[in-house]
Each structure stands twice: as C-alpha cells, then as structure tokens.
Amino acid sequence: MKCLETERLFRYAYHLLNESEASQVSAHLESCPRCREIVAQHIRLDVLLDDWKAPGPRPGFDVRVRRATEAQPGNVGAWRLWGLEWTRGLALACLATLMVVGVAWYRHSYRRPFGAPAITGRPSHSARAGARSSPGMKIKPSPSGNDSEIEQTEGVPAAPGAVASWNEDKDAQALEDYDLAANFDLLSELPERASQNAN
C-alpha cells in the first residue's frame, strides 16, 4: 500500500480535513504503521508544545492601560465621568440642577428693568407687572409707608393696582433718590422731593 503524503496526515491530525477525507485516512492508518507513527508524532507534538508557558501581565497593567486611554487627546469628558463612581456623578448632576433652579428663581423674583436701581421694599408681582406697562408714571410713597404708589405724570393712565415702579424717562432724579432710598430712612423724604419736582 502506498503511504499518504505527510501534509494529508498533518491535516488529519489537526482536524483540517472534511469528513470523507478523514475517513479515508483513518482506513489507511489501520494498515500502515509508518503513517500511523507520523500522525502520532503530530499529536505528541501538540502536547509537547503545551510546555512552552508564557507569563500574563504583571500587576498594574490594567492601571497603565486605563491611564493611557484617559490621557488620550480629545478624550470626552463623559468618558472620564464614567471613571467616577455613579453616585458621584449623580451628586454632581443634582448640584448642577439646584444651581440652575436657584438662578432661575432669583431672576424671576428680583426681575427689574435693566440698569434700574435696587429697591429694598419688594413690590408685589401684580404691581410690578402693571408698572412695567405704564410709562409716564412717578413714584409716590404710600400713606401706609409700606409701598410706594404710582402717580400719573402724562396722558397714559397708570395701571390699576400699581404700587411701585420707576419713571425711567421723566424722573431720573426720583430714580436717584429712590436708589438712595434703598435705606428705609430716606423713604420718608420721597414725597417732598416728588412734589418739588412736580412743581
């Protein structure tokens, strides 16, 4: 019987033949000790090669890789955020939300015309809304002393219920005074000054 070529025997040993080819080789091996020995040597070679061990990574390898990836230019912030514990990320998100809400609330509550002076006695929302729509008004202290009232200075009627505002165009002096009147002590002087300006 003619011996098989060694490549075929190798493919048989390493399961690289299809089923029919493999069965032909099997049949030949039963009657050919030489080919059988070659196949046996390939199988023993496979076992022998297992003896060549190679080490894995040393401790700290993962940290090195992580640092290298984090140091990449263009590394997105979100990627780094993932490196934080999720609770820290959540805390940061809550803090950011609180800050946004706080700023929005502050701006809504203390809204006033750009460049207008701050006032100490906070007018009611409806009064502010009315005053904003009423040019040609002037500040007049309320008899109760709590809020100032609005006096009509031009043809435009003051909004009903308006108790505090600024006559931006016509009464700059009153504005200055009002600014000074940020201290409550000066509020009492406003009626006199207002009447002087009117005269």
Minimum CB distance to other proteins smaller for 77 or for 115: 77
Span of 27-35, 43-51, 141-149, 186-194 interacting with other proteins by CB under 8 A:
43-51
Distance CA 33, CA 37 (A): 6
CB of 102 to other proteins, least distance (A): 30
CB of 66 to other proteins, least distance (A): 8
Quote the longest CA-to-CA distance of the chain: 136
CA-angle at 137, arms to 134 and 140, nearest 5°: 130
Distance CA 65, CA 80 (A): 14
- Residue from the set 3, 27, 65, 104 that interacts with other proteins by CB under 8 A: 65
- Residue from the set 1, 2, 30, 68 that interacts with other proteins by CB under 8 A: 68
- Residue from the set 1, 30, 31, 58 that interacts with other proteins by CB under 8 A: 58
Residues 79-98 that bind other proteins (CB under 8 A): 79, 82-83
Report the run of H or E that residue 98 belongs to, with start and end.
helix 86-109
166-169 long-range contacts, Cβ below 8 Å, gap at least 24? 166/113, 166/116, 166/117, 166/131, 166/139, 167/135, 167/136, 167/137, 167/138, 167/139, 168/113, 168/116, 168/135, 169/135, 169/136
Distance CA 60, CA 12 (A): 43
Minimum CB distance to other proteins smaller for 47 or for 118: 47
Structure tokens at 52: 């060549």
CB of 76 to other proteins, least distance (A): 7
- Residue from the set 3, 16, 93, 95 that interacts with other proteins by CB under 8 A: 16
CB of 72 to other proteins, least distance (A): 6
Minimum CB distance to other proteins smaller for 83 or for 161: 83
Kindly list the residues in this chain that would bind other proteins in the complex (CB under 8 A): 6-7, 10-11, 14, 16, 38, 40-42, 44-49, 51-58, 61-62, 64-66, 68-69, 72, 76, 78-79, 82-83
